[in-house]
Structure 1
Amino acid sequence: MSDILEFAPCGYIRFSETGIIERINSTLANWIGAPKHAIEGQSIQSLLPKAGQIFLQSYIFPQLKFSADVEECHFKLLTRSGERIPVLGNFYWSEREACASSNDDRTNQPQLDGSTTLYDVIIIRAHKRHQLENALVLAQQKADATVRELKKSNDSLGRFANMVAHDLKSPLRNINRLAEYLSDDYEDLLDDDGKDLLKKLDSTSQQAIYFVDKLLEYGSLGAKGTLEEVDLNRVVTIASETFSESMATTGATLQIGRLPTVMGIEIQLVQLFQNLIGNAIKYRSPDRSLIIDIQATQIDEKECKIWVKDNGVGIPAQYQQDVFDILFRLHGKDLEGAGIGLATCKWIVQNHLGTIGVESNIDEGSSFYFTLRSIDR
């Protein structure tokens, strides 16, 4: 054995097809805690705990016979003190060596009786890798437990929100019906102030019902759809059809670039684009025709960025992060809305493991962007 292999920072074993160790280097002997001569001539099984012995017999030996090499095998070495050392081993077919079974009586030279196959094993310690793998397993288990708890919490919260929303809708509808009843039967008995108050009552109750419906819609997001390949060109086409009439009325133009196929939940992605297109229409500038431009750029092999740009009124810099908060309304009561649309967009994008943001300038327009997992074609 060369000095390089003898004192290399990796372990080395040569063993026969019967499992008998023929050679071992000093590095591995030091790991085991025994002199080389005490290990050579022993079975390779003696260096392994019970699980490693089974692994050797059931997997490594059969693989060596059929494919010659077995690489990157994780197992543990058993030291003389009983410690188990995590290692990574590569097993290689080495050579066939003639076997001497007896000596010739006349010449006193060994007689050759068949041959045996020899295998070399290069071994590196994998303690840190083993620690990292264990840490990853524990982290994954904790993450899975957190996801289960979060799903349970979200399910409970969703049921609670639905219950509260349904309980709220009933009295609100009654108020709305009473307002309609008063308007139909008693409007002539009211003065102008009374009629104005009645109209406000009707309008407020309708707005409250609309708000509760939006809350129900937001609360039910988590229950929709399964992850699949989704063509965003189709998604945008479906989403834009919702606004065909309003876009024709306002003279708005929708420009769509070539969009990728992504991994997503189609019904949620349709809702995402509906909210962003609807937001652009709602906050269009009165001084020019609305142009909505939807484009995509590839970040890397697995991720893309989608842009939904408009030339509307824009968003002040101090509010550009707040617009994604639930119930936040930038224009107060000046424009109809519940303050849930962009919060829904944020939830959908995060549910797809993406990020969402906006770049905007007053009286120039806004560019909403978000990332999704793309399909590598």
Structure 2
Amino acid sequence: MSSLGTSADSSSEAQEPQGLDFRLKGSSLSHRLLLALILITLATMAIFVCIRYFITITSLEKDLATRAENIATRIANSVAPSVWDIYRKSYDRAFSQEVTNAILEAEFRDPYLKGIVVYGNFGHVFMELYKDASGELVSNKDLLEPDADLEGSYSAYVAIKNASMTTGNVRVFLSSDPSAKLIRDTLLIEIVQALVIATLFVVFLFFAIQKVLIAPLRELQLADAELKRANQRLETANKELEEFAYRSSHDLRSPLASSIGVIGLTKELIHENELSEALDCLEKVDTALNKLDRLVLDILQMTEMENMEDRGELTDLTHLVQESIQSVEHLKESKQISFEIDIESEPLKLHRIRLRNILDNLLSNAVKYSDVQEPLSRIRLSARTENDQLVLKIADNGLGIPEPYRKDIFTMFTRFHPRISRGSGLGLYLVKKSIERIGGTIHYAPLPKGSCFTLSIPIQNQGED
């Protein structure tokens, strides 16, 4: 549309969500914390289970050793009379063996008992009894399974005494097999219990740490991010202020200096009675002072824009556009321009005053920099709503913006058609600042003939100010 634009790629970019990096860092920190808690808890649980297993096995071994000692002692006391009879070469040996056998069989009610051997006083085997894999009792070790390992069992060796005389010995063998399933079941229950407790502990600890440490840290990170953004905005504002002070002082001094020089020349021409040339000089002074006046007005507008409190109000966009068109009809170029309005929108709650200033600037530029060589100059304004946004386009078939200058389209004091420029170079800069103040964006795109500006402006809800 107007020649005060710049590159198709030059536009005010919508800022990415600030603090996103910190939110990602906070999320990553939470994930790492959760993983660390899980690993620590699993390691602790594994150590706990191992300790429990070691304690259980140690206790079992001690219990079996004690059990073996008690069984051997009980058998030794029970068979002592029978063995004493044998020792005395009793003729009632068969009866003694039957009694001893009955005593041994009775002991095998103990599920851990695997074998019993009763030795005579000279170390010979008086009687032996074993339990095979099927639970049957056999009287000879050779009848056991080939893989039966009595020596690997828990055993006890107790002397058979008659008064103070040793008449034989008893050896018993115990197996830990009945405890194996019990140990496995116990460990499985303990593992399940540990997993449940560990899960509850991890969840509780995770949320507790989240509340106590992570949440405040995230708030601190977001506050730090906001502080950095504020510092960045302040630094940008300072740079703009420095540039503005330098450029504005130059632009203010230039028409004053030229006016002073021309006024001096005018005095000389009046003294020489060259009134016609003196009038020409005064015309130049008038032009320079008008230029200075426009610059001062633009500076005042910029100041007003910074301090403006523009609350949202229900706005008839068609009526607002028509008002802006009327505001530029006094320009001589507007007589040759056809305005086209295509607005598909009901009244919306918008920042009306700022939007009016934006439209006035853009339409004024489109009119001033229309192409006088064009048979019919056109300015088209269209609007539609998309996802709670008002999308407004202003397109023209004017002079456009030369490609080398498009990168500076929204820079202050920028003029792209100096030969015909009558502005201060602040127009598009003010437009960009205004639209950013209301949370919108502006994009410029060159057309085959002319320019197009696309504005995206947030629509306020009825309850918002």
Taking structure 2 as the reference length, what is the TM-score of the superposition? 0.46
Q: 1:336 aligns with which of 422, 443, 454?
A: 422
Structure (1/2) with the larger strand percentage:
1
Unaligned runs of 5+ in 1: 1-8, 10-23, 35-75, 78-83, 88-125
| 1:227 and 1:265 in contact (8 A); partners too | yes
Which residue identity is paired with 1:29?
I
Query: Structure 1 139/179 Cα, relative in aligned 2: closer, same or farther at 3 Å?
Result: same
Q: Aligned partners of 2:351 and 2:231: how far apart in 1?
A: 20
Greater mean deviation of Cα atoms: 178-187 or 262-271? 178-187
Question: Larger Rg: 1 or 2?
Answer: 2
Match of 1:345 in 2: 431
C-alpha distance in structure 2 between counterparts of 1:277 and 1:251, whole Å: 11
1:296 aligns with 2:383: yes
For residues 220 and 161 of structure 1, what CA distance do their matches in structure 2 show? 16
Look up the match of 2:294. 210
User: Does the C-alpha gap of structure 1 residues 341 and 259 become closer, same or farther in structure 2, counting only changes over 3 Å?
Assistant: farther
Provide the rounded CA distance (Å) in 2 between the counterparts of 1:297 and 1:367: 16
The match for 1:139 is 222
> How far apart, in 2, do the equivalents of 1:297 and 1:144 lie?
37
Q: Could you state the TM-score of these two structures normalised by the residue count of structure 1?
A: 0.55
> What amino acid is aligned across from residue 238 of structure 1 in structure 2?
E
Q: Is the 8 A contact 2:444 2:451 kept in 1?
A: yes
Q: 8 Å contact 2:350–2:460 — kept in the other structure?
A: no
The aligned counterpart of 2:456 is 371
The amino acid that maps onto 1:288 is P
Partner residue of 1:86? 207
RMSD over equivalenced CA pairs, Å? 4.6
Kept in 1: contact 2:361–2:431 (CA 8 A): yes
| Match of residue 310, structure 1, among 393, 396, 404 | 396
Offset of residue 356 of structure 1: 1.1
Instruction: Give 3-state SS (helix, strand or coil) of 1:339's partner.
Output: coil
> How far apart are residue 251 of structure 1 and its match?
4.4
Q: Are residues 136 and 309 of structure 1, via their aligned partners in 2, closer, same or farther at CA, if it must alter by over 3 Å?
A: farther
How far 1:86 sits from its partner (Å)?
1.1
- Pairing of 1:1-377 with structure 2 (within 5 A): 27=195, 29-31=197-199, 77=204, 84-86=205-207, 127=210, 131=214, 134-135=217-218, 138-140=221-223, 142-143=225-226, 146-147=229-230, 150=233, 187=270, 189=272, 191=274, 196-231=280-315, 232-246=317-331, 249-259=335-345, 264-286=350-372, 287-300=374-387, 302-361=388-447, 364-375=449-460
Which has the higher relative contact order, 1 or 2, with Cα contacts under 8 A spaced 6 or more apart?
Answer: 2
Corresponding pairs, count: 267
CA deviation string 1:107-157 (max 9, x = no partner): xxxxxxxxxxxxxxxxxxx959x84785256325642685499579969x8
Pair 1:241–1:199, CA change in 2 (3 A) = closer
Counterpart code for 1:339: G
Q: Shift of residue 315 of structure 1?
A: 2.2
Q: Is contact 1:175-1:205 (8 Å) kept?
A: no
Q: Matches of 1:169 and 1:25 in 2, distance apart? A: 83
Query: Relative to 1, partners in 2 of residues 1:313 and 1:261: Cα closer, same or farther, differing over 3 Å?
Result: same
Going from structure 1 to structure 2, the CA distance change for 1:361 and 1:175 (only over 3 Å counts) comes to closer
Cα separation, partners in 2 of 1:305 and 1:248, compared to 1, 3 Å? closer
Residue 236 of structure 1 and its aligned partner are, at CA, apart by 1.8
Q: Percent identity?
A: 16
Q: How far off is 1:241 after superposition? A: 2.3
Following superposition, the deviation at residue 224 of structure 1 comes to 0.9
Instruction: Find the residue that maps to 1:292 and give its secondary structure.
Output: strand
Q: CA deviation at 1:197?
A: 4.7
Secondary structure in structure 2 of the residue aligned to 1:244: coil
Residues 175 and 319 of structure 1: is their aligned pair in 2 closer, same or farther, counting only changes over 3 Å? closer
Say if 1:261 and 1:374, in contact at 8 Å, map to a contact too: no
- Do the aligned partners of 2:442 and 2:453 also contact (CA within 8 Å) in 1? yes
Aligned to 2:106: none
Alignment correspondent of 1:44: none
Separation of aligned partners in 2, 1:186 and 1:341: 38
Residue 86 of structure 1 aligns with an amino acid whose one-letter code is: F
Greater share of helix residues, 1 or 2?
A: 2
Q: CA deviation at 1:266?
A: 1.9
Runs (5+) with no aligned partner, structure 2: 1-37, 39-191
Instruction: Give 3-state SS (helix, strand or coil) of 2:445's partner.
Output: strand
Secondary structure of the residue aligned to 1:220 is: helix
